[in-house]
DNA sequence: TGTACATCAGTGAACGCGCGTTCACTGATGTAC
DNA sequence: TGTACATCAGTGAACGCGCGTTCACTGATGTAC
């Protein structure tokens, strides 16, 4: 009945969607749809909701509401809630890989320092992006739900593998541990510390030292055990 | 209307509840209530549901249904779903502590062997009791939701701390690392491996070696880095 | 030992709510001519 | 350059469902006397 109000509301919505769309166009050159880049907006909304309430605490309808569209709209882009979650995880693995790569930085200034930087980058990601991290590792998604997700996870792990390869090459041929094993060891250390202590989101356990210090000392002792020179 | 059927159904229910009650009386000497030990039955039901669908995948009504009672019954024993989940976690920490203690076994036959046994016990628990493990570490419950839960978690961690103390005593006074740090390191290794690879429930990542071998080698290298003699 | 009574674990019906999902539709966009 | 048309992202109303929670109740148990 109050036509003016309804019209204003619609106008406001259109305006918001369009201005968002313009900023997206500027940021990422992904194609824009005729009412805005809803696909990406839903992923952002899901991230926000996961950050607030955990990976199990958001619904398809929630994401639609946050993105300002009707509850039926997400079905144009995602088969179901799990498909949306998988896309959040896939995108997260991509950023994760980038951060780890930056940490490794081709093994510079030297492989041991770079290896520690990878560890720091791991924790920094878990702390800065708890929503991505939860979607990637704690959402209960089967890791090979789809080939893209699987590949994204593998690519991120490959950075650890590359770093281990670079480190192993420092040792004389007779005393080289399997790089695959080393990378799994480091992954488990970093993941263990990140999920027990180093999360940016909810109430975690208190510690006598920072998560970063804990991981650094753990890696230091581990590398010493493998016969690497200190520093 | 079909009185006979209804009567039979009620009789069957009563019979089941009573026979369950009797077996509980035999197993645990916890007090029995006048229609059965519903409190414990709800915890069991929650464990079963968590094992099937994850810690976020069960509802209060689900648990009641599994226990064969009306949806209002659980309110006699738990304030809400979170309180039930917290009790599952608390009970889990108790069993966890017992398994870790058995692994440590007072440091016998020798502290290094016993330390490795603690690691094995950790993974064995995560594998055998994925529901407890999930409630304890992956349910999103704040660790100090209530004093009992907090205390149960602390007691379990204290076993790791005791083991680290026992190990540290092997080293000469000048080269002893802080036992607190050591126990946090081992916890993070074991938890990392357990949550990434060593779970009995759902589809996890494949590995070139078993979770147990991975943890054992990791601890071995770590201990070597601290200057412990091998074997 | 028997009876009356208080207790309280569990009932079952009811409610409002938000979810997932479907459907025919609308209307802005891009394109063919 | 202008017009007609096809496309398809998003609408909004509708549905059935199961959840959390409440309520007055029931009836088995334990106990006081």
Q: How far is CA B73 from CA A102, B40, B69, B70, in A?
A: 55, 13, 6, 5
Q: Which regions in chain B score pLDDT beneath 50?
A: 1-33, 202-203
Alpha helices in chain A (DSSP H): 3-27, 38-53, 60-67, 81-104, 111-128, 130-137, 147-168, 179-196, 211-225
Band of pLDDT at residue A34, cut at 50, 70 and 90: low
Contact residues on chain B for A154, CB-CB shorter than 8 A: none
Residue A11 has pLDDT above 80, yes or no: no
Note the pLDDT of residue B230. 77
Q: Which nucleotides of C are covered by protein (CB under 7 A)?
A: 8-14, 18-24, 27-30
Structure tokens at B80: 């809400």
- Asked if B42 CB < 7 A from strand C, the reply is no
Note the pLDDT of residue A99. 98
Specify whether the CB–CB gap between A146 and A82 falls below 8 A: no
Which of A123, A221, A223 is best to mutate for the B interface (most B CBs within 10 A)? A221
Greatest alpha-carbon pair distance for chain B in Å reads 84
Note the pLDDT of residue A230. 77
A184 contacts B221? CB cut-off 8 A: no
CA–CA dist B90, B96 (Å, integer): 10
Specify whether the CB–CB gap between B92 and B132 falls below 8 A: yes
CA–CA dist B119, B104 (Å, integer): 9
Note the pLDDT of residue B175. 95
Average pLDDT over residues A29-56: 79
Question: What structural domains does chain B harbor?
Answer: 3-76 (no CATH), 81-225 (1.10.357.10)
Residue A8 has pLDDT above 50, yes or no: no
User: Residue B171 has what DSSP assignment?
Assistant: S
A202 contacts B144? CB cut-off 8 A: no
Which residues 121-180 on B are within 7 A of strand C at the CB atom? none
Q: Measuring from the CA of residue B79 to each C1', which nucleotide is nearest? A: D21
Q: What share of chain B is helix, strand, coil (3-state, %, to 5)?
A: 70, 0, 30
Can you give the distance from the CA of residue A71 to the C1' of nucleotide D15 in angstroms? Answer: 14
Residues near chain D strand, CB within 7 A: A 10, 13, 33-36, 38-39, 68-73, 76-77; B 34, 59-62, 65, 71-72, 75, 80-81
Q: What is the mean pLDDT of chain A?
A: 85
pLDDT in tens, B1-53: 344 433 333 333 333 333 333 333 322 223 334 557 999 999 999 999 999 98
- CA proximity to B195, closest of B140, B123, B143: B123
């Amino acid at each position: 009945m109050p036509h003016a109000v309804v019209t204003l509301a619609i106008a406001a919505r259109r305006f918001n969607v369009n201005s968002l769309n313009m900023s997206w166009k500027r940021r990422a050159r992904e194609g824009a749809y005729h009412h805005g880049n809803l696909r990406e907006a839903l992923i952002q909304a899901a991230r926000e909701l996961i950050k607030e309430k955990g990976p199990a605490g958001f619904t398809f309808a929630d994401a639609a509401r946050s993105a300002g569209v009707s509850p039926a709209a997400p079905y144009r882009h995602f088969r179901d809630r799990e498909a949306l979650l998988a896309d959040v995880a896939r995108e997260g693995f991509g950023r994760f890989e980038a951060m780890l790569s930056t940490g490794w930085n081709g093994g510079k200034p030297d492989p041991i320092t770079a290896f520690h930087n990878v560890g720091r980058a791991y924790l920094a990601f878990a702390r800065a992006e708890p929503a991505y991290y939860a979607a990637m590792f704690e959402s209960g998604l089967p890791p090979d739900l789809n080939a893209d997700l699987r590949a994204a996870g593998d690519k991120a792990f490959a950075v650890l593998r590359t770093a281990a390869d670079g480190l192993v090459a420092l040792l004389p041929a007779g005393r080289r541990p399997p790089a695959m094993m080393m990378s799994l060891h480091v992954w488990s250390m970093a993941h263990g510390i990140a999920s027990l202590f180093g999360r940016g989101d909810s109430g975690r356990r208190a510690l006598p030292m920072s998560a970063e210090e804990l991981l650094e000392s753990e890696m230091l002792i581990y590398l010493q055990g493998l016969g690497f020179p200190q520093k």
